[in-house]
Structure 1
Amino acid sequence: MNFENAFIQSANPRKLFKFVNNRINSAFNISKLVVNGKVIENSENIADEFIYTFSKSFTARAPPFPALPSPRPSDTFIDLSPFCVSQFIKKLSPKLGYSSDSINFFILKNCADAISVPLSLIFTESLTSKHFPSIWKTSIVVPLHKKGSSTDPTNFRPISLTHPLARLFEKIVIKALKRDFTCKLSQHQFGFLDKRSCPLALLDSISEYQFLLDSPKAHMDVIFIDFKKAFDSVPHDLLMLKMLNFGIHPNLCDWFRSFLSDRISKIKIGNYISSNFFPITSGVLQGTVTGPFLFLIYIDDLLSSFPEDVRVTAFADDIKLFSNNSVSLQKSIDIVVAWCTKWKLALANNKTLAL
């Protein structure tokens, strides 16, 4: 599952779409669901069942939260010149991108120079006004099977196919954000960052295991922490507080607030796209370019909260805590529980365990 999650949440659209396209035919052609013993075979009814299932993953708006002490914000420079926009377009894979209005990356690449000026103006106005275009806030969701029965809608994850122009805009913004803020993220975090990966996380864990087992106590305990629908559950208002506290400029935070708010998703089953939709009231939206990095910011402070004798390795929301001090590990568990209560994320009880 970690392997699958790495692709699903990857900020690299080439890897994401290669993975999704390998499974997309079965995802687009879900022929049957069974809900409460009732067989559902009509595409419209199947889509409506997924709308009901996926909409339950989101949380209501969080209550007001006291302001956090914020460092002096960084005035992130985002190059939106026609030349920069054109260069980003030309680097896109022609096979990527989907939208209900038939715009795709192949079309964009073949008229990059012609459209770079108007896109530069649109992107600049969006950032200046701190308003993300509403027309780009509708996503087409493909239900992707995870495990278990393929007729149970709860065994699918929602993968959002966002508008190609929105993805292009995100790529430009996230490059600047990563340039300025990756260095501030915890060194214990190995998820979705350049020059960090799942294999490196495993190597780091093995090194720490060896260190603890070579110590005089010669034993250790490991706690595996996982969150329940973490990427879908992040409250937007609390995310904005985390971003401000991270040093991101308030104007850019306001733009991200607009980017995340008032979004809707429709379901695609075969060639059918649902007329009904469901609102996205929380989360960082699986399938977007910026979503993984925003989640890393949200969870970052937790990784530096543990006692010094507790080692930490994280891959996005999958966290391992290990130590030869059981008292410190228990304290760490208490810290996680308190953090979850404060920041409105729930633990996945079936995936959180001790070894």
Structure 2
Amino acid sequence: MELSRRDWNQKCNELQGTLGWAKTWALLRALIGSTTTKSETRKTTQRIAHQFQGTERKKVLQDIKQRYIGNATHADSSLAYTGKANPALDEPLTIEVRHAVMSATKNTTPGRDGITNAMIRNLDDNSIKRFTEFVNKHWEQGTLLDDWRHAEIVMIPKSGKTPNLENLRPISLTSCLGKVYERVVHHRLQTHLEDNELMQHTMFGFRKYLSTQDLLLQIKEEVLTTVPKYGENILLALNLKAAFDNVSHRAVLEGLSKLGCGQRIFNYVKAFLNNRTATIGIGGIRTDTFNSPEKGTPQGSVLSPMLFNIAMIGLARALEEIEGIRHAIYADDITIWVTRGSLGEKQELLQRAADTVNAYARHCGLACSPEKSEVLRVYRQGYDLQNP
């Protein structure tokens, strides 16, 4: 027993300063009996899949596809760039490609082409140069490889839920090379938006140096600490239902034109969003390739959060025009609050803001989610809600 204790203490000492090592985390997972490892997840999905046989398996896959992907839809592919020319953003891609290659995450599952990030990071200088030339050819032509628009969707069980078809979530595996190209475009576009202050200051999601803490602090300072002695502040929280899956491509592309992002970024995003394909599988069984619905932003994409933000810039601007309200947008959550005026005036302003959100959401192919939206009335102790 003493020897075992001494060996254990020695092992613990050896682990000091090694939390960045994969072996350390593997040991910790084994000690706590984690059921969320890749091997356990694979076994669970295989057990779910093996409940079905023969033609029943095909039906199950179709049901999963219908539930999580939906029917194919066709977007207007004729939409053209109408913004100002932007020679700086249209310039050929250079050292950015090398930076994106070297910053690729090591342990990432590849897409259909089988090319891993480890392979990409091991490219020599000549190979990176040739890859840069290849990417620039597509950059100039506004085209994209089919493999870079394809997703291998894997269904995995939700953590802590009973393992069955109702408790699955989709994970999209896309091309690692395609993601390198995405990171290049993302960096160029993000720099343009932030340096030129094209994103409204009321937009907090997926931006450098901004977080939920900043938003919560603002609400605390403007709503919770300014409650009048004989009155109330009112906050309206709205949520856009399945926003990333349903936002229209037109809303994204029109947003790019209005921001003057240049012809080449517009062409890239248009090619990136349109004509996407996928397969969906669980536990070793998989559908044939199908066309993805031409709406929403691709799951797991480097660009998707920014593209969604671009579609929402118009909403932020519309809300800023309503005098008397304050608002903040974090991805698909819109928070609006009023701290001045009579109760009737506050209600009128909030209704106007809600109507603005609803109208803009419809324009973008979206809708508010009633079950995730609510009104919060903030008042001091002793305030009579029935007779304010």
Cα distance change on mapping 1:117 and 1:22 into 2, 3 Å: farther
Question: 1:123 and 1:290 mapped to 2: Cα distance?
Answer: 17
Cα displacement (A) at 1:57: 7.5
Q: What's the counterpart of residue 15 of structure 1?
A: none
Q: What's the counterpart of residue 343 of structure 1?
A: 364
Given that residues 143 and 157 in structure 1 are in contact (C-alpha distance below 8 angstroms), is that contact kept between their aligned partners in structure 2? yes
Cα displacement (A) at 1:342: 2.3
Q: Any idea what SS the aligned residue of 1:143 has?
A: strand
Taking the TM superposition and a 5 Å limit, the aligned residue runs for 1:70-149 are 72-75=84-87, 76-77=89-90, 80-81=93-94, 83-144=95-156
Q: What's the counterpart of residue 308 of structure 1?
A: 323
Q: What's the counterpart of residue 50 of structure 1?
A: 64
Larger RCO (CA within 8 A; separation ≥ 6) = 1
Name the aligned partner's letter for residue 200 of structure 2.
Answer: S
Q: What's the counterpart of residue 173 of structure 2?
A: 161
Given that residues 238 and 343 in structure 1 are in contact (C-alpha distance below 8 angstroms), is that contact kept between their aligned partners in structure 2? yes
Matched, 1:186 2:186: no
Cα displacement (A) at 1:340: 2.0
Given that residues 84 and 257 in structure 2 are in contact (C-alpha distance below 8 angstroms), is that contact kept between their aligned partners in structure 1? no
Question: 2:257 and 2:37 mapped to 1: Cα distance?
Answer: 38
Given that residues 72 and 292 in structure 2 are in contact (C-alpha distance below 8 angstroms), is that contact kept between their aligned partners in structure 1? no
Matched, 1:257 2:270: yes
Q: What's the counterpart of residue 293 of structure 2?
A: 280
Residues 267-309 of structure 1: per-residue CA shift (max 9 Å, x gap): 2323444334342311111200111100000011112222232
Structure 2 unmatched ranges of 5 or more: 1-34, 340-345, 377-388
Given that residues 156 and 169 in structure 2 are in contact (C-alpha distance below 8 angstroms), is that contact kept between their aligned partners in structure 1? yes
Residues 94-114 of structure 1: per-residue CA shift (max 9 Å, x gap): 112412332100111112424
Q: What's the counterpart of residue 7 of structure 1?
A: none
Question: 1:231 and 1:212 mapped to 2: Cα distance?
Answer: 34
Question: 2:234 and 2:259 mapped to 1: Cα distance?
Answer: 32
Matched, 1:352 2:373: yes
Question: 1:175 and 1:312 mapped to 2: Cα distance?
Answer: 27
Question: 1:243 and 1:23 mapped to 2: Cα distance?
Answer: 40
Counterpart among 235, 238, 255 of residue 251 in structure 2: 238
Given that residues 322 and 329 in structure 1 are in contact (C-alpha distance below 8 angstroms), is that contact kept between their aligned partners in structure 2? yes
Given that residues 59 and 233 in structure 1 are in contact (C-alpha distance below 8 angstroms), is that contact kept between their aligned partners in structure 2? no
Matched, 1:177 2:189: yes
Q: What is the TM-score of this pair, normalised by structure 2? A: 0.74
Cα displacement (A) at 1:53: 1.3
Given that residues 33 and 46 in structure 1 are in contact (C-alpha distance below 8 angstroms), is that contact kept between their aligned partners in structure 2? no
Q: Any idea what SS the aligned residue of 2:370 has?
A: coil
Given that residues 266 and 277 in structure 1 are in contact (C-alpha distance below 8 angstroms), is that contact kept between their aligned partners in structure 2? yes
Given that residues 57 and 233 in structure 1 are in contact (C-alpha distance below 8 angstroms), is that contact kept between their aligned partners in structure 2? no
**Farther off after superposition, 55-64 or 335-344:** 55-64
Cα displacement (A) at 1:45: 4.8
Question: 2:70 and 2:256 mapped to 1: Cα distance?
Answer: 26
Counterpart among 253, 256, 260 of residue 247 in structure 1: 260
Q: What's the counterpart of residue 205 of structure 1?
A: 219
Percent of aligned pairs with the same amino acid: 21
Question: 1:255 and 1:97 mapped to 2: Cα distance?
Answer: 24
Q: What's the counterpart of residue 352 of structure 2?
A: 331
Name the aligned partner's letter for residue 269 of structure 1.
Answer: I
Name the aligned partner's letter for residue 368 of structure 2.
Answer: L
Cα distance change on mapping 1:320 and 1:114 into 2, 3 Å: same
Question: 1:54 and 1:141 mapped to 2: Cα distance?
Answer: 10
Q: What's the counterpart of residue 12 of structure 2?
A: none
Q: What's the counterpart of residue 45 of structure 2?
A: 30
Residues 2-30 of structure 1: per-residue CA shift (max 9 Å, x gap): xxxxxxxxxxxxxxxxxxx9675566542
Cα distance change on mapping 1:64 and 1:100 into 2, 3 Å: closer
Structure 1 unmatched ranges of 5 or more: 1-20
Question: 2:373 and 2:280 mapped to 1: Cα distance?
Answer: 31
Q: Any idea what SS the aligned residue of 1:184 has?
A: coil
Q: Any idea what SS the aligned residue of 2:235 has?
A: strand
Cα displacement (A) at 1:328: 0.5
Q: Any idea what SS the aligned residue of 1:127 has?
A: helix
Cα distance change on mapping 1:221 and 1:49 into 2, 3 Å: same
Question: 1:174 and 1:84 mapped to 2: Cα distance?
Answer: 11
Q: What's the counterpart of residue 319 of structure 1?
A: 334
